[in-house]
Chains A and B, each alone.
Chain A
Amino acid sequence: MTESILEVRDLVKYYPVTRGILFKKTIGHVQAVDGVSFDLHKGETLGVVGESGCGKSTLAKVLMHLEHPTSGSVTFNGQDIYKLGASGLRRLRRNIQLVMQDPYTSLNPRMTVGDLIGEPFEIHSDVAPKGSRRQKVQELLEVVGLNPEHINRYPHQFSGGQRQRIGIARALALRPEIIVCDEPVSALDVSIQAQVMNLLETLQNEFGLSYIFIAHDLSVVRHLADRVAVMYLGKIVELGTEDEIYERPTHPYTQALLSAVPVPDPNSRKNKAIIRLTGDVPSPTNPPSGCRFRTRCWKAQEVCAREVPLLEVRSGSDHPSACHFAEKREIMVTREAGELTELPTRTL
C-alpha cells in the first residue's frame, strides 16, 4: 500500500442551534460530522458518497479548514493542519485545493478568466513571478482543454462544462497535491459530465494528484474512485475499495443505497430487487441512539439502540463496516465493461 498523504482522525463538527435574540441560549447541536476517520493515499481517489444532509459537504469544508472542527485532527505531511498559524495555513492551502459544485456561482462574474485563474498567484507570488503569470494561465487553460486565446473572456461567455474547467484550472494553478472535489459534475448535463470526469482522470495521472471526490451519484463515484467511504448522518458507515463497496457491500445502508440506483438497461427491471427504505433520514440535531441507521434498518435489534457500532472489520465483512450484523448480500451483477459500439466513421 502506498503512503498516506492525509490522515483524518475522529473529526467532529457540531453547529450550535440557538434560541433567543439578545441572550442566545444553545439548545442543541447539529451533529454534521461526528467522528470521521480515514487515510488518503498518494495518487488515489477517495470517493465520499451519501445522501443530502449526511455531512459530506461539511466534511469538505472542515478538510479545507474553511470551518474549524469541534474536535479531531487532520495530519498533512506530519503536521496537524488545525494547529497551524496564519502563514503555515497559507502554505497548506497551496497543497490542498477545492473544486466546487456550482460552476455558475463559484466564479466572480466581474473577473476575466485570466484574473480568476491567475488570482492564486497574487497570494502565492513565489509560484509565478508577475511577468510570467499570463503565460502560466494560458498553459493552465490549455491543460484543462480550453482555448488559451479566451483568457480575456468573462465567465458568462462560457457554458457550464467550460466553467467547471475554469474552476479546475484555478484549483490546479498552485500545483496542489490534493484536490477536494465537492460534487464537481452534478450540475452538468450527461454528455458534458463525461468530458469533465475524463479530464479529472487525465489530470490525476499527469500530475499525480490525490482526490477526495464527494458526490451523491454512486455511478459517478464508482467510475472515478479507488476507495469509497459511505456516509450516513455524519458518520462513515462503510469504507473499502471500489470492489469491496460495490461488489460485496456489508452495511445495510450501503446495500439499500446501491439497490436503489437505476441501471440504464430495461432488461434489468425483472431481476432487480430494490431494498425499500421507509421513512426519512432522522434529524442530525437529535440522531438515534446507538446505530444511527437503526430507525430505517430491517436488521435492527435491541443491541443496535444500545451500542454504537464501530467502523471495523467483522466476521461477515472483509473491510471496515459499522454494523453489528455486517454480512455480504448479493446486490447486483457487475457486467464487464462492454465493447464500445464502433460507429461507422468515414472521411469527409
Chain B
Amino acid sequence: MSNVYVADQPSAAREGRPSGRLLEVEDLRVEFRTRDGVAKVINGVNYHVDAGETLAVLGESGSGKSVTAQTIMGILDTPPGFVTGGEIRFHGKDMLKMSAEERRRIRGEGIAMVFQDALSALNPVFTVGFQIAEQFRVRRGMSRRDAKIRAAEMLDQVKIPNAKQRVNEYPHQFSGGMRQRVMIAMSLALDPEVLIADEPTTALDVTVQAQIMDLLGELQRERQMGLILITHDLGVVADVADRIAVMYAGRIVEEANVYELYAKPAHPYTIGLLESIPRIDEKGQQLRTIRGLPPSLLKIPSGCPFHPRCPMAQPVCPEKLPPLLQLGPTRASACHFAEELVNRD
C-alpha cells in the first residue's frame, strides 16, 4: 500500500487533515503513581470528534477509556493521576495549558459528561430540580424561580412524564432509567458542544437501554453535538456509532468507521473481541476466546502490549511497538500485520 503513513507522529498525521476539529486528543499520556509503582494508564491516545458525530471508545476494564474521558473533563484525581504529555484541543486550544478558571468555563457549556451510575452521581439530599437549576443560577445568573422552570423544561426534553411535579422529587424516587434521563438533562442543561457518555446504559435493562440510546441519538441530532460514547458493549456500538476507537492497555489499537470495523477488523484484538461475544442472532457453539488476561498496567508487556495473548504473534512483536498505521482514509490499526489482515479475503 502506498498511502501508509505513521499517525503516531503528529506532523505527518495532521497534514492534509482539515483543521478546526471540535475536540482533538493528541498523544495523551497519563500515569498513576501508586504505592506499588507507576501505572501507565494512557500511553499516547489520539482521537477526535466533530460536530454531529458519534465516536465510540471501546475497551475492557482497565483499557484507559474512562481515564481519557476524565482527563478531557479535567476531573482526574491528582494525585495519584498525572498527565505526563500530550494535548487536548477544544476548538484548537489546548485545554491542558488553560487556567482552572478557563477550564471551568468549558465544563458544562463546551464539554459535558454523563456518568455510568446515576444513583451515585446525583446528590441524594437535593431534589433533581435543584441540581439541574443550580447550573442555570450559577452560570446564567437566573433567579431561583426561573431556573426551576428551566429545569422542568429540561426534564420534559428528556421525556420524563409529569416534569412539573417530578422536578421537586429526590433521586431515590426515580427508577434507574429515569435517573439516567435526569443525568442526561443535567449534562445538556448548558447546551454543550461535546457530550461524553461513560457507559450510560451499562447498569440498565435492555428495554430501558434501548429507550436511553434512542433519546441520546435524538438529542444529539437536534443539537448537532459531538458524542463520545464510552462502552464495552459491541452491540450498542454497532447500533449508534459512526466511528470506533478500540483501546487496549492505554493505547488505541484500531480506529475505523463502524461498517469497516465489523466487516473486516484489522487488529487481532478486535477480531478476538468480535468472536468472543455471544450473539443473540446466533445459535450456541463454543465461543472463540482471547487467551490469557489483560496486562497489569504496572507491567505492560514490551513491544506490542497484546503480543502475549495474540494468536498471530511473531518474533518482532515483543521487540517493537507497532505504531497506529493509517490504512485508508478512515481507518488505522496498530498491528505489525495490519495490512495482511485488511487484505485477507
Contact = CB atoms under 8 A, between A and B. Distances in A.
Interface of A: 51-52, 159, 161-162, 189-195, 197-198, 201, 216-220, 222-224, 242, 246, 256-258, 260-269, 274, 276-277, 280-281, 332-338, 340-341, 343-346, 348
Contacts of A220: 278
B175 A194 contact: no
Given A224-B284, A262-B235, A343 B271 contact: yes
Contacts of B302: none
8 closest residue pairs by CB, A with B:
A262-B235, A194-B276, A51-B205, A223-B278, A191-B290, A194-B287, A260-B210, A189-B60
Contacts of A162: 293
B312 A194 contact: no
B21 interface: no
B320 to A, nearest CB: 15
Interface in B37-73: 60-61
B278 A191 contact: no
Given A222-B284, A257-B206, A264-B277, 7 more contacts: A191-B289, A194-B290, A220-B278, A257-B207, A258-B280, A266-B241, A337-B285
Chain A interface, >50% SS class: loop
Residue from A195, A197, A268, A341 having most chain B Cβ neighbours under 10 A? A341
B262 A264 contact: yes
Contacts of A280: 175, 177-178, 208
A345 B281 contact: no
Nearest to A348: B315
A213 to B, nearest CB: 12
B168 interface: no
B161 to A, nearest CB: 8
A223 B61 contact: no
B314 A346 contact: yes
A223 B287 contact: yes
Contacts of B126: none
Nearest to B315: A348
A213 B258 CA distance: 33
A268 B238 contact: yes
B294 interface: yes
The listed residue with most B CB atoms (<10 A of its CB), out of A220, A264, A267, A345, is A264
A260 B210 CA distance: 6
Contacts of A217: 278
B239 interface: yes
B36 interface: no
B279 interface: yes
Interface string B304-329: 00000001111100000000000000
A224 B276 CA distance: 14
B207 A260 contact: yes
B312 A266 contact: no
A201 B286 contact: yes
B288 A189 contact: no
B268 interface: yes
B158 to A, nearest CB: 14
Most buried by B among A197, A343, A345: A343
